[in-house]
Amino acid sequence: MKSFTEGLPVARDGSCLPWFTYSMISFLSGKIRSDMRVFEYGSGHSTLWWSDRVSSIISCEHDLDWYNYLKQKIPPNVTYIYCPLDRGGKYSQTILKHSKKFDIVVIDGRDRINCAKNALKALKDDGAIVWDNSDRQQYLEGYAYLIERGFRRIDFQGLGPIGTREWCTSIFYRDNNCFKI
């Protein structure tokens, strides 16, 4: 109720929550480790939530107003990048500019199909992808791209912070993955 009344993805105590389904948040809370590295397309309360739980997070944001707002709240273990949206261009390729690979890639921004394609080049062998709003038909090509490359999918359907309707957040993973699923 607190998230609904405040219009922000927060827990009962006011702490930040990612704007994922509650079932996904519960799953991740039991699986993520403090030594993990995360790359996130799209920033927000999820950026702050991840920063409390993993060693480092790189977050790429396309909306300059939102970037400037959130920038003031970013802790030291977050590398926060502003990159204007250009479909199939620099935004989706931002992940490729980092030499160390990632345990988790979060796809919750724009140009999601191209983000998924580029994510595979920067994902550890045991890495996983968290894809929010994975019930949207416009991303079918991206889901198929991952499945064709050996990923499996688990859907976490239900309510989440702020929301009054159900949606889906999914994990795409391979054998011997960092979540041990």
DSSP 107-174: E-SSSHHHHHHHHHHHEEEEEEEEEETTT-GGGHHHHHHHHHTT-EEEEEEE--SS-SS-EEEEEEE-
> Domain 2-173 belongs to what architecture?
3-Layer(aba) Sandwich (3.40)
Quick one: pLDDT at residue 7?
A: 67
- The answer to whether the beta carbons of residues 115 and 109 sit under 8 Å apart is yes
Measured CA to CA, the distance from residue 173 to residue 125 in angstroms comes to 10
Q: What confidence category does residue 67 fall into, taking pLDDT thresholds of 50, 70 and 90?
A: very high
pLDDT in tens, 80-121: 999 999 988 999 999 999 999 999 999 999 999 999 999 999
pLDDT in tens, 118-171: 999 999 999 999 999 999 999 999 999 999 999 999 999 999 988 788 999 999
Quick one: pLDDT at residue 88?
A: 82
> Residue 2: pLDDT above 80?
no
Measured CA to CA, the distance from residue 86 to residue 70 in angstroms comes to 21
pLDDT in tens, 17-61: 899 999 999 999 999 999 999 999 999 999 999 999 999 999 999
Which residues pair with residue 33 across a beta bridge?
none
Q: What confidence category does residue 9 fall into, taking pLDDT thresholds of 50, 70 and 90?
A: confident
Domain residue extents for the chain: 2-173
Q: Which residues contact 110 (CB under 8 A, 6 or more apart)?
A: 41, 42, 62, 85, 87, 91
Q: How far is CA 89 from CA 93, 95, 112, in A?
A: 6, 11, 12
Residue 116 has phi, psi (to 5 degrees) of -65, -45
User: Is the pTM for the entire model greater than 0.85?
Assistant: yes
The average pLDDT across 63-71 equals 96
- What is the residue type of 53? R
